[in-house]
Amino acid sequence: MSELCKVIDSLLISNARAACKKELLITEGVTCCINISKRQPFPDHDLHTLRIPVFDHPLQNLSKHFDHCTDLIDSTIRSGGKCLVYCKHGRSRSATICIAYLMRCKNMTLMEAFQMVKRVRPSIEPNAGFWSQLESYEKSLQRNQ
């Protein structure tokens, strides 16, 4: 499995170790990193960065950050950049944000978005709390259409 997994051309997902490899980010053309953790480091590279300080725990409220993160991913892509979303292992928190982006900005269902991310990064597994938040997000997106 590649260290930086390409969800779509300009949206990537990885773990923290890969996200801190400067040469990998430069090669891939990453211009923005969203770090979904309280403790993982930021890359030592001149990038636009955002930290969403949550633990990978079912009771953490990640959904309150969905719109902010998806807006940042969307604006990065629209301006010609590439966005990397990562957390410690690249399995739950970062996957949840990538799925939320696909649902909101690419009009995918939760299952379509999950399967798309799972195809490129088979190890993803949003925790039960995040999955429930994604289900609620899907319903709110459908109501707002």
Q: What is the DSSP letter of 11?
A: E
Q: How far apart are CA 145 and CA 136, in angstroms?
A: 15
Say which CATH number the domain at 11 has.
3.90.190.10
3-state secondary structure of 65: helix
Q: List the domain range (segments joined by +) for residue 107.
A: 5-143
Strand partners for 85: 13, 34
pLDDT for res 72: 98
Q: What is the DSSP letter of 43?
A: P
pLDDT for res 54: 96
Within 10 angstroms of residue 106's Cβ, the number of other Cβ atoms is 14
Task: Write down the catalytic residue from 5, 87, 98, 105.
Answer: 87
pLDDT for res 2: 66
Q: Which two tokens stand for residue 71?
A: 């807006």
∠81-134-98 over CA atoms, to 5°? 20
Burial (CB < 10 A; 0-12, 13-18, 19+), residue 98, is: buried
Within 10 angstroms of residue 8's Cβ, the number of other Cβ atoms is 18
Tally of domains in the chain: 1
φ and ψ at residue 2, rounded to 5 degrees: -65, 150
pLDDT for res 21: 93
Within 10 angstroms of residue 37's Cβ, the number of other Cβ atoms is 19
What mean pLDDT comes out for the span 48-72?
Answer: 97
Question: Does 87 participate in catalysis according to the annotation?
Answer: yes
pLDDT for res 82: 97
The string of pLDDT tens digits covering residues 17-42 is: 999 999 999 999 999 999 999 988 88
Q: What's the Cα-to-Cα distance from 144 to each of 96, 104, 116, 131, 139, rounded to whole Å?
A: 20, 10, 23, 20, 9
Q: How far apart are CA 78 and CA 22, in angstroms?
A: 23
pTM of the model: 0.96
